[in-house]
Amino acid sequence: MTVDATTLDVSGICAGYGSVPVLHDVSIKVEPGSVVTLIGANGAGKSTLLKVVGGLIQSTGGSVAFNGTDCTRRRPDQMVRAGLGIVPEGRRLFGEMTLRENLELGAYARTDRQNIAHDFERVLGLFPELRDRLSTQAKSFSGGQQQMVAIARALMGAPKLLLLDEPTIGLAPVVVDRVAALIREISELGVDILLIEQNAEVALSIADFGYVLENGRVVMADKAEALLANPQVRLAYLGV
């Protein structure tokens, strides 16, 4: 790792599923201290890019550097141990397990056992609505609460970079606002964030920088506030 290295540097990534290409020469960066969002329609390749970064699928071209280290061919468990946290679309909780068990599972790859109890309390501090339900099975929570559990579980891994895949999908507006506020709060605690969102207005309102992905290619990149004001973006993704 180099001093002040770019947190995530994805360069020229090409990837797909079998013989079906999805991503074409995609390059994005997440700088230290930032929230970066990738917006685009369904099928644009957003989730595929997250899978490449997380080591879930292998690219056919390009490179992925994490904190200045080439991680292009690393396995998912190696990426987690390197400091990557992932909140997948659909949350993917263990429904039969309690909230406490789900959170403890989030720290499975850590070796600093003495700090896990401290982080457990710190994470619960971000989600006070969950504190009194540690013995509740995850499947009993509402959709919004399950999303919070999924984020809390990822934070228990003490990530340097958090990947969020459609964290507001299917949530009521008031819960969307809560999740958006949490994302900014997590960023302010020193965790860099790559946010994949179909809700462009929410994503661009909380991000520092954004990329627009269409048909597996980056077609626009700018500061989030500039994209939010861009007439093309507003027409295509905000319905304005």
Q: What is the pLDDT of residue 113?
A: 79
Q: What is the pLDDT of residue 186?
A: 95
- Between the two ends of the chain, the Cα-to-Cα distance in Å is 43
Q: What is the pLDDT of residue 112?
A: 83
> Whole-prediction pTM value?
0.91
Tokens in use for 183? 């994302």
Residues of the chain with pLDDT under 50: 1-2
Q: What is the pLDDT of residue 4?
A: 66
pLDDT per position as a tens digit, 165-177: 999 888 889 989 9
Buried b (16+ CB within 10 A) or exposed e, 25-35: ebebbbeeebb
Tokens in use for 16? 């797909």
Best CA proximity match to 84, nearest among 24, 7, 27: 7
The domains of the chain are located at 1-83+196-240
CATH of 1-83+196-240, one of 3.30.420.40, 3.40.50.300, 3.90.1150.10, 3.50.50.60: 3.40.50.300
Which helix (H) or strand (E) is 102 found in, with range? Answer: helix 99-106
Q: What is the pLDDT of residue 1?
A: 40
SS (H, E, C) 148-199: HHHHHHHHCCCCCEEEEECCCCCCCHHHHHHHHHHHHHHHHCCCEEEEEECC
> Could you give the CA distance from residue 152 to residue 155 in angstroms, rounded to a whole number?
5
Report helix, strand or coil for 19: coil
Main-chain phi, psi angles of 230, to 5 degrees? -70, 125
Sorted by sequence, the CB contacts under 8 Å of residue 35 that are 6+ apart come out as 183, 184, 187, 192, 193, 195, 206, 207, 208, 209
